[in-house]
Chains A and B, each alone.
Chain A
Amino acid sequence: MGFRNDDDKKAYWKENLSLLTKLLIVWFVVSFGAGILFADALNAIQFFGFKLGFWFAQQGAIYVFVALIFVYMAKMNALDKKYGVDEE
């Protein structure tokens, strides 16, 4: 058993799921939101030489994806340490 007690196990999983939910909301908003559903509306906004919706669909969403994974990595490593379930 990796955890000190059952409460810790539940709390760890809850924090994990809440982090996951937040990050997946961002994932959805930048790609399916800004890049697809609201792309037409955002295209009215000029961002350098791009229309904003087009930029999210072909550039911006990908940058955010990369950032999301590294944020997840850092937060999860900290969470593992907090509950003493990290790999030595």
Chain B
Amino acid sequence: MDVQLLTFIIVGASFALYIGIAIWARAGSTNEFYVAGGGVPPVLNGMATAADWMSAASFISMAGLISFMGYDGAVYLMGWTGGYVLLALCLAPYLRKFGKFTVPDFIGDRYYSQTARTVAVFCAIFVCFTYVAGQMRGVGVVFSRFLEVDIVAGVIIGMAIVFFYTVLGGMKGITYTQVAQYCVLIFAYLVPVIFISMMVTGHILPQTAFGATLADGSGMYMLEKLDNLSVELGFNEYTSGTKSTIDVFFITFALMVGTAGLPHVIVRFFTVPKVRDARKSAGWALVFIAILYTTAPALASFGRVNMIETINGPDLQGTPYASAPTWIKNWEKTGLIEFNDKNNDGKMFYAAGSIDDPNSPNEMKVDRDIMVLANPEIANLPAWVIALVAAGGVAAALSTSAGLLLVISTSVSHDLLKRNFMPNITDKAELFYARLAAAVAIIIAGYFGINPPGFVAQVVAFAFGLAASSFFPAIIMGIFSTRMNDKGAIAGMVSGIAFTAAYIIYFKFVNPAANTPENWWFGISPEGIGTLGMMVNFLVAFLVFKATDEAPQDIQDLVESIRYPKGSGEASAH
């Protein structure tokens, strides 16, 4: 059977599964729509959280990024996992005890202020839209490469599926579909890597194969060979980085704190029955995430060795273009691989430098995004594995989109309408508005998927920076200080966001030419500035708090009451 037919069958079967689950788990009340009735078992919730968190970027792009960055790729690995430690230890159990539906709910109630709530709502909506546009694009790319349908058609199919189970099932439908999507995506990720690590080193586990000797009988460690190859071709050693230590430190910290402050991740801990389940659920979420995140760096290094050897040949003299493997020709059609035969010898050669630079021996441009998708082809794996990877990529994109869209619809129907404009709205009407908001959000996200703004990649730094410099400090102070007041928190959030946004906008949009280490403050890149923004937030909040009255007694009692688990009820609106 050919790859395309197999892909249709496997992706189609996964869609049928998601729709079946959505019909089984449809929501009847706002409680079920927002937080799945608070009745999701912790292990399943952990799995759903993992699928929610791991987006098309984690699935498709991350291993490729690491493959080209070497050691520096660790900022993503540690940054996107370490945040769960903060979440589990400092946020999740307390927010679960607090027992509301949304992050703006917590901010609004804890700081007894509609202004604080509104600031939080707009941050939440902005962060989520930023993300979701990229996801829809990911769906489109997978569809167009593997099913050879138009990107527009791919995005519309993806929108229709997400629309169906988000609008019908709300959080309950999303949670159970995400469990299925996690299984699809992790299976799809692991199968090709296991094949490849057995071929390269003879180890089944990619995590041990990563540090093993090569299977070619040379007795050389895989990473040693990769380091040697990299140096020989004019790159840095794979296992040491090019970024400055301070920048690696700040980026990692910003990604960790940003992760812990992202509303679509936090809201997942409102869906479990008890505080102890919130703790447990965070642990399981990280286990399920770690399975992919410890595999990715192994995949990245195998992929790089394979790619260099395929293009340059075992003796590093280059291989004839005329007899290049089909994956090179296939990806060349999509523009993600380019060949420029500078010395006219008819051979391909990959090395450091630009393919347009006459002084560099490099003749190949290889886009880092193809690493995961092309790996099964590079390693000559069977057609069903390639089809599986397509289904996994789609599962990763859909699960994250659904989680984000839910936060958007909740923010509109609950935080804006119910808590601001229409306090007397009935549960049924609120549910209607939640569904309507989800539908509108999907259409807007789809529009951005088809017509992506050129700055999607840049705004990702924005999302993490904003979450790190706004939500995280506000929530931490709301839990660990009983006396922190509304004025301090609002001043902190506004100054943290303004500082971070100004720095990113300046270097990414206003004056991109100046975006070099010499011009950065303390050598911190825009990706890492959220860490400094977080510090600004804490500092401003503290100074304003010192100059104003502390929080009223009833709020202090409220904070005391969320610090221990006893008496946690279901998440509720009041």
Contact = CB atoms under 8 A, between A and B. Distances in A.
Interface of A: 2-3, 9, 12-13, 16, 20, 23-24, 27, 31-32, 35-37, 39-40, 43, 47-51, 54-55, 57-59, 61-63, 65-66, 68-70, 72-73, 76-77, 80, 83-87
Nearest to B293: A62
A18 B73 CA distance: 33
8 contacts: A16-B563, A32-B252, A49-B211, A61-B77, A65-B82, A65-B85, A68-B89, A86-B565
Contacts of A3: 564
Interface stretch (B4-12, B114-122, B153-161, B283-291): B283-291
Contacts of A61: 77-78, 81-82
Interface stretch (B218-226, B305-313, B315-323): B218-226
Interface stretch (B262-270, B272-280, B388-396): B272-280
B88 interface: yes
A35 B76 CA distance: 12
Interface in B58-114: 66, 71, 73-74, 77-78, 81-82, 84-85, 88-90, 93
Contact of B88 (A58, A72, A77, A85): A72
Contacts of A68: 85, 89
Given A24-B85, A57-B71, A84-B566, 4 more contacts: A31-B252, A35-B74, A36-B252, A69-B85
Contact of A48 (B74, B82, B212, B275): B212
B213 interface: yes
B242 interface: no
A85 B93 CA distance: 13
B239 interface: yes
A76 B283 CA distance: 13
Scoring A13, A59, A68 by chain B CB atoms within 10 A of each residue's CB, the highest score goes to A59
A50 B279 contact: no
A40 to B, nearest CB: 7
A48 B563 contact: no
B451 interface: no
B567 interface: yes
Contact of B253 (A9, A32, A63): A32
Interface of B: 66, 71, 73-74, 77-78, 81-82, 84-85, 88-90, 93, 207-208, 210-213, 221-224, 239-240, 245, 248-249, 252-253, 274-276, 279-280, 282-283, 286-287, 290, 293-294, 297, 560-561, 563-568
A43 B288 CA distance: 28
A30 B161 CA distance: 41
A85 B89 contact: no
B290 A87 contact: no
A74 B207 CA distance: 27
Given A43-B239, A86-B276, A31 B211 contact: no
B210 A50 contact: yes
A73 B279 CA distance: 6
A69 B282 contact: yes
Q: Is the interface of B mostly helix, strand, loop or mixed?
A: helix
A78 B294 CA distance: 31
Given A65-B81, A83-B564, A20 B71 contact: no
A40 B245 CA distance: 10
Contacts of B275: 87
A73 B30 CA distance: 30
A66 B290 contact: yes
A76 B279 contact: yes
Contact of B84 (A36, A48, A65): A65
Contacts of A55: 211
B290 A62 contact: yes
A31 B78 contact: yes
Given A31-B252, A49-B222, A36 B245 contact: yes
B468 to A, nearest CB: 15
Contacts of B73: 58
B107 to A, nearest CB: 22
A87 B78 contact: no
B28 to A, nearest CB: 26
A27 B71 contact: no
A37 B249 contact: yes
B279 A59 contact: no
Given A32-B249, A37-B249, A49-B221, A85 B564 contact: yes
A57 B283 contact: no
A66 B287 contact: yes
Contact of B294 (A43, A62, A77): A62
A58 B59 CA distance: 17
A2 B567 contact: yes
A29 B347 CA distance: 48
Nearest to B480: A17
A82 B114 CA distance: 39
Most chain-B Cβ atoms within 10 A of its Cβ — which of A3, A51, A69? A69
Contact of B564 (A12, A31, A47, A50): A12
Contact of B89 (A23, A35, A51, A66): A23
A63 B290 contact: yes
